[in-house]
Amino acid sequence: MSGNLIDLRRRISTVKNTQKITKAMKTVSAVKLRKSVTEINRSQPILNKIKYLISQVGKSAEFRKSLLMKRRESGETIIVAISADKGLCGSFNSNLAKEAEHYYQKVIEDGGNPSFVTIGKKVNNYLAKKDLKIRKNFPDFMIKLKFTDSKTLTEYLKKIFLEEDIKEIKFVFTAFRSSSKQEISDRLLFPIDLEQPEKEDSEEVEYIFEPEPGEILDLLIPRFINSIVFHTMLESSASEHAARMSAMELATQNASEMINSLTLTMNKMRQSSITNELLEIITATEALSN
């Protein structure tokens, strides 16, 4: 009996220590989530502004002739799958990896030739085990997301699209809607599509361009691509932190329930032990009195 009580005390102590860790991880994820959401809110107006300006400049320039906007009937389809580099975030990584695999198979069924560029260790490990074609992996980008990392990714994707026979490059990532809602989505990067640009103002504004519209586009388009890539990675990062925060909150609640259950079991065992000892004392006292 005493051995069982000691084991229970050890288990309760272990669960309490684990609960402290999950609470700390939840707090850290909440702080990182707030930072990511702040960055998303800052980057979205910039992205909208660049897109709007390109649409305005495009009225006066033949920017549709750009190779980055040229649609191709055939070629390789590049799927850029973004996951986390770490776990302990619920089904965040597994759902993303399965959706990326599903999109890969869909491209094959449609007669295409798909391959992956992976951001994050988790999705790369999953797809590698499935023996799917991976062109390149960018690990550790999502641990501490920086704009310079997104530029590195952008330059690589731009280079292969211009130099190789590639039909399109598309992101598969977890889009951030709110701290309680994230959903897997896809986003086309190349060829650039500006058929329905977002209007910043309700009224049309007629611009006078200096220098020539073509020169302005040469400056705007790289910034637009960088903004798209960085914003996509920011959304995935925010979704990861939100998923980890929820997972750690659930783990903390489960730990509390386990502690209560183990404590109740321990108290019952102690009560039973005390009752048995009292019965033994009473029995011995009655035997001596007789």
Cite the beta strand spans of 73-207 per DSSP E: 76-82, 113-119, 134-138, 166-178, 181-190
Q: Are the C-beta atoms of 249 and 241 separated by less than 8 Å?
A: no
Q: Are the C-beta atoms of 247 and 33 separated by less than 8 Å?
A: no
Q: What is the pLDDT of residues 41-62, one digit of tens each?
A: 888 888 888 888 877 776 655 5
Rounded distance between C-alpha atoms, residue 255 and residue 261, angstroms: 10
Higher per-residue pLDDT: 258 or 273: 258
Q: Mean pLDDT, the chain, as a whole number?
A: 85
Type of residue found at 190: F
Note the pLDDT of residue 198.
Answer: 47
Mean pLDDT, to the nearest integer, of 92-96? 92
Structure tokens at 264: 């109740």
Of the candidates 89, 88, 150, 80, the one whose C-alpha atom is nearest the C-alpha of residue 119 is 80
Cite the beta strand spans of 157-241 per DSSP E: 166-178, 181-190
Note the pLDDT of residue 47.
Answer: 84
Rounded distance between C-alpha atoms, residue 95 and residue 99, angstroms: 6
Tell me the pLDDT band of 256, cut-offs 50, 70 and 90.
very high
Rounded distance between C-alpha atoms, residue 61 and residue 69, angstroms: 14
The H or E element that residue 9 is part of is: helix 2-57
Whole-number Cα distances in Å, 131 to 15, 79, 92, 127: 39, 15, 21, 6
Rounded distance between C-alpha atoms, residue 12 and residue 6, angstroms: 10
Rounded distance between C-alpha atoms, residue 151 and residue 229, angstroms: 8
CATH architecture of 27-246: 3-Layer(aba) Sandwich (3.40)
Note the pLDDT of residue 217.
Answer: 78
Q: What is the pLDDT of residues 180-222, one digit of tens each?
A: 889 999 999 888 876 544 444 445 566 677 777 777 777 888 8
* Pairing status of strand 181-190 against strand 166-178: antiparallel
Type of residue found at 135: R
The CA-based angle 48-51-54, given to 5 degrees, is 150
The CA-based angle 287-288-289, given to 5 degrees, is 95
Cα 52 → chain centroid: 28
Q: What is the pLDDT of residues 226-249, one digit of tens each?
A: 889 999 999 999 999 999 999 999
Mean pLDDT, to the nearest integer, of 116-136? 92
The H or E element that residue 216 is part of is: helix 213-289
Rounded distance between C-alpha atoms, residue 227 and residue 21, angstroms: 36
Q: Say whether pLDDT at 110 is over 70.
A: yes
Rounded distance between C-alpha atoms, residue 46 and residue 281, angstroms: 81
Q: Say whether pLDDT at 126 is over 70.
A: yes
- The pTM for the full model equals 0.81
Type of residue found at 53: L
Q: Are the C-beta atoms of 235 and 173 separated by less than 8 Å?
A: yes
Structure tokens at 18: 């684990």
